[in-house]
Amino acid sequence: MKRYLLTILLSLWCACAWAAGSVTVKGRVLCGGRGVEGVWVSDGEEFACTDKRGNYRLQAGADNRFVFVCVPAGYDAPVEKGVVRYFHPLPADGKSCDFTLLRRAGDDSRYGFIAIADPQIWAPKEFAKLAAAADDIAATVRSYGGMPFHGICCGDIVSHDHSLYGRYNEVMERTGITFRNAMGNHDMKVYGRSYETSFSKFEQMYGPVYYSFDVGRIHYVVLDDNFFIGRDYFYIGYLEERQMRWLEKDLARVQPGSTVVVCLHIPSTCEEQDRKQFRYDRAGSTMTNHRGLYEILKPYRAHIISGHTHTTFNQPIAPGLYEHVTPALSGAWWQGPLCTDGTPAGYGVYEVNGDRIDWYYKSTGYPADYQMKIYSGREYPQFEGYAVANVWASDPAWEVQFTIDGVPCGPAERFQAYDPAAKQMYSDTSQMDHKWIYPSISDHYYRVALPEGAKRVEVSATDRFGRISRAAADLK
């Protein structure tokens, strides 16, 4: 009998302890005043699904900061001053928390999205350049003749001055599309005592640092892999277990084999070598625990879209898993028009048809087919004996063909190099706002032997979707 009573008392104690650490959140998800069935609501830890009348009841962790709706296909969330309002602060226990959705017009199985990274506004004087980039995005969207688009920013919206968020939002409205945002390391609140203090400024403006939504047949997830280590402004690329667990629950409702797009700031990988061997000195460059993320994504056809490096890396990681490391919209922190690997400042353009995604890179201020720059070993000693093309958006599946004085040459060899134009542009930073900028090596270069006396080099590059870009150069 005593053992039985003890068991009851322990059970009651555990229940009370659990209840003390949670709050009951209930409410409705509405569209046009009517409840929406089958919508998932989360607190960043647990999930609840709405019933036929749009009602939900969520047992949320008392320490969680938000309740948010995973916006379903066919719907949008309201937008206020450039911010998607899919979230509310965690209400007090028992308080109602309702969400409003807006019905999308027409079929959303065919659409596009724009991925940008590292606009990284450091000073108000840079907003004029951001406006020019936003206008370029708007022109690209218009070129699709009314096809719907949305946007995703892969972090580093500003450079630690969070007071610039409002102005940034205003300028990006020039694009004519709605942007959702991931958090970057320069969006962190730094010089705090722990990781948990680092995302308050971002959250005040944009809400949760991780969340999900659906457009058409594609499931999108935004994560935060900037792990502030509680010392000055230092961080590593690391995805905490809390987000891993939430992601597992989020994807449990997604059919295996579906297309999933994961957006975050610090790349999970930039090259095969960083997936094979960990380096302490590169812990802030890529996600140190990427294997856990890859395992979660295995059942899906997944694209990871990231930023952070201000360079281009397009990485087929495994069958059904591809990473797009997006060059910076700011180029080299608005100090020059090129990223540090020679990629022009720009953004990714993604075309969705059902569950298929095609993509290309768009350089700001250039036509869409501007995809390479040709160099001659005669002018640049580092390429002595070769004709070289920097095909910045390429990956190993691209076919790059050289023709020299009308004669096809090759096959072209893919190799790593520094871009001569970027090297010249960023070797002397004495007149720049930031002295720590330097050229970067990258893997998107192709070369063939350059015959003695050759006068003209032509290059054609065919991407994995059959799109062909061409360039030519007359040799000195």
- Please say if the pLDDT value at position 14 is more than 60: no
Do 147 and 223 belong together in one domain? Answer: yes
- Mean pLDDT confidence for 164-172: 98
- Is the residue at 133 inside a domain? yes
Q: Are 42 and 155 members of one domain?
A: no
The pLDDT assigned to 336 comes to: 96
Question: Is the separation of the CB atoms in 393 and 312 below 8 Å?
Answer: yes
User: In the prediction, which pLDDT does 126 show?
Assistant: 98
Confidence category of residue 9, pLDDT binned at 50, 70, 90: very low
CA nearest to 261, candidates 208, 297, 308, 225 = 297
Which pLDDT score, from 0 to 100, does residue 372 have? 98
Share of the chain above pLDDT 70, in %: 96
- Name the pLDDT band for 10 (thresholds 50, 70, 90): very low
To 5 degrees, how large is the angle CA 288–CA 242–CA 165?
80
Residue matched to tokens 């280590």: 229
Burial 365-386 (b: 16+ CB within 10 A, else e): eeeeebbbbbbbbeebeebeeb
Q: Does 350 or 280 have the greater pLDDT score?
A: 350
Q: What is residue 414's predicted lDDT score, i.e. its pLDDT?
A: 97
In whole angstroms, give the CA distance from residue 122 to residue 442.
26
User: Which of the listed residues 103, 119, 135 is the one where a domain comes to its end?
Assistant: 103
Q: Are residues 70 and 184 in the same domain?
A: no
114/85 same-domain check = no
41 and 145 within one domain: no
Instruction: Identify the residue with better confidence: 277 or 187.
Output: 187
Residue 157 included in any domain = yes
169-190 average pLDDT score: 98
Same domain, 306 and 392: no
- Domain membership flag for residue 199: yes
**Is residue 14 domain-resident?**
no
Residue 33 burial (CB count, 10 A): 6
What's the mean pLDDT in 126-139?
Answer: 98
Domain at 203, CATH number:
3.60.21.10
The average pLDDT across 319-333 equals 98
Span 402-418, mean pLDDT? 96
- 10 Å CB burial of residue 167 (0-12, 13-18, 19+) is middle
Tell me the average pLDDT across 66-75: 98
Predicted pLDDT at 4: 45
pLDDT score for 2: 43
Residue ranges making up the domain that contains 46: 22-103
State the average pLDDT for the chain.
Answer: 94
Residue 16 lies in a domain: no
Whether residue 17 has pLDDT greater than 90: no
Same domain, residue pair 194 and 316 = yes
- The residue-averaged pLDDT of 72-78 equals 98
pLDDT tens for each residue of 19-62: 448 999 999 999 999 999 999 999 999 999 999 999 999 999 99
What pLDDT is stored for residue 223 in this prediction? 98
Total domains present in the chain: 3
